[in-house]
Each structure stands twice: as C-alpha cells, then as structure tokens.
Amino acid sequence: MHADWNDVIWAITTRMDPARDTVLVENTPIDYLDFASPVSGLGSKMGLDATNKWPGENPA
C-alpha cells in the first residue's frame, strides 16, 4: 500500500489517460459487508494504471 497520497494523486493526474488506463469489472465477488451492491456478494471493481508507460504503450 502506498503511504503518500500526494504521490498517488500526482501519478493519477500525470500518468493516466482514463480511456486507456481504467479497467471496470462487473458482477465480480465482493465482500458481503459491502451494502452498496444491489446483489449480495456481487459488485463491480475498478482498476487504475498510473504506472510509467513503456514507449510502445503510448498512443501515437
């Protein structure tokens, strides 16, 4: 876990293209104590890729 949230926010705002670097997964198992989901035990998750990109990963 990253300890400095300022670094996390900096990486998200400078290294991410939301269309390219966001992954959404629907209907996946979640904690049964997460009451935000309409279906018990299933929900959605989001992944963000705020890492440095290799030259081939950058769009032309």
Distance CA 51, CA 11 (A): 7
Radius of gyration over every alpha carbon of the chain, rounded to an integer in angstroms = 15
**Torsion (CA) 25, 31, 32, 34 in degrees, nearest 10:** -80
Reported as a single tens digit per residue, the pLDDT across 1-28 is: 556 999 999 999 999 999 999 999 999 9
Helices (H), 1-60: 5-15, 18-21
Domains belonging to the chain, first-starting first, are: 5-55 (3.40.1670.10)
Categorize the per-residue pLDDT at 56 as very low, low, confident or very high, splitting at 50, 70 and 90.
confident
